Structure 1
Amino acid sequence: MSHIVTVQEAVTAFADWMEPTDAELDAIEQEMPVIEADIDLLDAHIATLDRTPTELDARRLRRARRRALAARVELTNLSVPFSGVGA
C-alpha cells in the first residue's frame, strides 16, 4: 500500500505571510481597466448563450468588444515608451 503525502512546498506556497509586493499590486491596478472590460465582454457573451442574440444583445457585444480593445490599446500605449517619428 502506498501512502499519500503532501508536498511541503505546495502547502506553504500560499501561506498568509506571502503577500503581493507593491510592484505586483501596482501592475494589477494598471491592468484593472482591461480586466473589467474583459469581464463586461464575458458577461455580454454569457447573456446570449441560451438564446438567439437580439439587436440589443448585438449592440451590447459590439460595445463590450470596443471597450475591451480600447482598454488593451491604452494599456499597451502606457507600457511602450514613445520613440518619436523617425527615431
Structure 2
Amino acid sequence: MEHIVTVQDVVTAFADWIEPTDAELDAIEQESSLILAEVVLLDAQIKAMDHPVNEVDSRRIRRARNRVLAARRDLTNRTAGAIVPGGAA
C-alpha cells in the first residue's frame, strides 16, 4: 500500500511572519477597555436570553451599553489627539 503525502512545507502558527507587530499590539492595548465593555454587554444579552426579560436584565443591558458608549468615546477622544506620523502638515 502506498501512502499519499503532500510535498508542501508544513504551515504552523509559529512562523515569524504570523506574529503581531508592536504597532498591532499597541492598538489592541489601546482598545482593550472597549473590548472588555463589549464582552460585558454580550454577557448581559446572553443572560437575558435564558428567561423572559425583566427589569434587572434591562438595567444590566442598559448599563453595559452605556459602558460601551463611554469606552468608544474615550477611545475616540484619545486617538483624535494623537499625532499620526507621516500625515499632511
Q: Would you call these one fold, judging by a TM-score over 0.5?
A: yes
Shift of 1:7: 7.5
User: Could you tell me the percent identity over the aligned residues?
Assistant: 52
Q: Which residue of 1 aligns with 2:28?
A: 28
How high is the TM-score relative to the length of structure 1?
A: 0.74
Q: Return the letter of the residue paired with 1:33.
A: S
Alignment: residue pair count: 78
Shift of 1:55: 0.9
Q: Which residue of 2 aligns with 1:85?
A: none
The runs of 5 or more residues in structure 1 that have no matched partner are 83-87
The separation in 2 between residues aligned to 1:41 and 1:6, in whole angstroms, is 47
The separation in 1 between residues aligned to 2:23 and 2:72, in whole angstroms, is 20
RMSD of equivalent CA atoms: 2.5
The runs of 5 or more residues in structure 2 that have no matched partner are 1-5, 83-89
Q: Which residue of 2 aligns with 1:80?
A: 80
Q: Which residue of 2 aligns with 1:71?
A: 71
Q: Which residue of 1 aligns with 2:39?
A: 39
